[in-house]
Amino acid sequence: MAAKQQLKDILENWDSTREGRGLHSLIAALYPICRSITGEGLRQSLRLLQQHVPLSLCEVPTGDQVFDWTIPREWNIRDAWIKNERGQKVVDFAKSNLHVVNYSVPVRLRMGLAELKQHLFSLPETPDWIPYRTSYYRETWGFCVTQRQLEMLEEGEYEVRIDSTLAPGHLTYGEFRIQGATDEEVLISCHSCHPSLCNDNLSGMTIAARLAALLQNVPLRYSYRFVWVPGTIGAIAWLARNEAETGRIRHGLVLSCLGDRGPFTYKRSRRGNAEIDRVVAQALSRPATGHSILDFVPYGYDERQYCSPGFNLPVGVLMRTPNGRYPEYHTSADNLDLVDAGALGESLGLLLRIVLRLEKNRVCINQNPKCEPQLGRRGLYRTMGGLKDSPEREMAMLWVLNFSDGSHSLLDIAERSSLDFAVLEQAAAALEEHNLLRPAG
């Protein structure tokens, strides 16, 4: 069996733009599909990801009780339009799947403009953008249109057609697990229910797939579980089906909005100071990335469920510009132009650096705790004295030795010293080689 590639080798050869171009192509392939929290569009999207990583499709039947919720009927849609008196399609689902309120019931009606307008949604402030609206749990129908479309509608009778079905079926989610040296797990979750919206969340879906593909080829300490779930109901269904196994989750991240050009944003887990929270903060700080770190709040993405008090899992959210904070959010302007290959590649690179820290963080024990060991005679330290500054590598060894008393992890030492985690980890490895250090426990 061939020796596996190491994580640090992947990072040392990282090319954000090249990786990002691959991600952008995958987003472009997924973009036209009409996803929802159930249905064929969702299945088709997950099957497309299977070309990159062998994820499984899991089907949860309509009517299944998942905690306080019930799996709804499956929604599928073939076509939808509004025709004016002259038979012209003034709104057409074929042009953008955002035109239909997601989960609209089937409709075949004629009505006047006034009545029709009660079912139309637009964004007056951005008159060329189509809003994204859903109505999963209340039976209704509607169309989302640009403000310009709305304003051009004349008085008269309209023919309205939504060729959708709401019928017993399944909710589908994707899952992929990599077995590491231990059963302790890292959970990576992304919502996969949004139709033609690129940043939210084709960016997260594709980055998760590519991360999974990369990690399945490197030796790992943790096991990694990737889930592509419809927002809210999908995460709840996954938790309901995997409740017994959630105790293994040591760290977790929700991925979303990772393709725009904004700086990174990390939203802490409900615990606030979990290892994942500290690892991400440390990875973002070296080099400093102009990022923001936000405290947990109980709205946002599926961290709402993972961090509900009955689970309280150590799951944070990695984003660039957060949901609701960019004007294109939940509109047709969250398109292929909004997401950038370089940004996508950089996001994936950051995730690899986070994984490296999770994998390599450990508590070590100094085997020579009384005074410093003589590093010089082991070739680990300069022999000329009197210099003003020490190389970072030597300082890293002194930090690791001094604080490896059994109560400080390498992450603790990185935080305290402001040295780069990778440099500290290499120092620890060198000291371990010389039997000056050993892993605790």
Q: Where on the chain is the footprint of a copy of itself (CB under 8 A)?
A: 66-69, 102, 131-138, 140, 232, 235-236, 239-240, 243, 270, 295, 297-299, 304-305, 307-312, 324, 329-330, 366, 368-374, 376-377, 383-390, 395, 398-399, 401-405, 416-417
Query: Whole-angstrom Cα distance, residue 200 to residue 216?
Result: 25
* 358 Cα distance to chain centroid: 17
Q: Is 66 or 351 the residue whose CB approaches a copy of itself more closely? A: 66
Q: Is 240 left (phi over 0), alpha (psi -120 to 50) or beta?
A: alpha
Three-state SS for 111? strand
Of 178 and 274, nearer to a copy of itself (C-beta) is: 274
Helix (H, G, I), strand (E, B) or coil at 392: helix
Q: How far is the CB of 396 from a copy of itself (least distance, A)?
A: 10
In the complex, minimum distance from the CB of residue 120 to a copy of itself, in angstroms, rounded to a whole number: 13
**How many angstroms separate the CA atoms of 120 and 143, rounded?**
5
DSSP of 26-67: HHHHHTTS---SSSHHHHHHHHHHTTTS-PEEEEEETT-EET
Question: Taking the alpha carbons of 359, 365, 371, 374 in that order, is the dihedral positive or negative?
Answer: negative
CB of 324 to a copy of itself, least distance (A): 5
Cβ nearer to a copy of itself, comparing 213 with 398: 398
Q: Cβ of residue 369: shortest distance to a copy of itself, in angstroms?
A: 3
Nearer to a copy of itself (CB atom), residue 139 or residue 154: 139
Cα(259)–Cα(337) distance, integer angstroms: 10
Closest approach of Cβ 276 to a copy of itself, in Å?
A: 18
| β-bridge mates for residue 251, sequence order | 186
Nearest distance from C-beta of residue 15 to a copy of itself, angstroms: 35
- Of 210 and 268, which CB lies nearer to a copy of itself in the complex structure? 268
Residue 145's contacts (CB-CB under 8 Å, 6 or more residues apart) are 91, 99, 120, 121, 122, 130
Strand-pairing partners, residue 315, are: 252
Count CB-CB contacts under 10 A for residue 37.
27
Q: How far apart are CB 386 and a copy of itself at their closest, in Å?
A: 4
To a copy of itself, the closest distance from the beta carbon of 400 in angstroms equals 9
Q: What is the DSSP string of 312-333?
A: ---EEEEESSPTTSSTTTTBTT
Tokens of 58: 């899991």
Residue 428 C-beta: closest distance to a copy of itself, Å: 14
Retrieve residue 372's tokens: 């410093």
Dihedral (Cα; 331, 332, 336, 340), 10-degree rounding: -20
Closest to a copy of itself by CB, 61 vs 298, is 298
The total of other beta-carbon atoms located within 10 Å of residue 376's CB is 12
Helix axes 410-417, 275-285, angle to 10 degrees: 40
Burial 298-313 (b: 16+ CB within 10 A, else e): eebbbbbbbbbeeeeb
From 440, 377, 352, 373, select the one nearest 404 (Cα to Cα).
440
Residue closer to a copy of itself, measured from CB, 132 or 264: 132
Q: Please, what is the minimum distance in Å from the beta carbon of residue 119 to a copy of itself? A: 12
Q: Which residues contact 167 (CB under 8 A, 6 or more apart)?
A: 62, 73, 74, 76
Strand partners, 437: 366
Q: How far is the CB of 304 from a copy of itself (least distance, A)?
A: 6
- In angstroms, give the least distance from the CB of 239 to a copy of itself: 6
Spatial CA neighbour of 291 closest among 283, 299, 279: 283
Nearer to a copy of itself, 108 or 370 (CB): 370
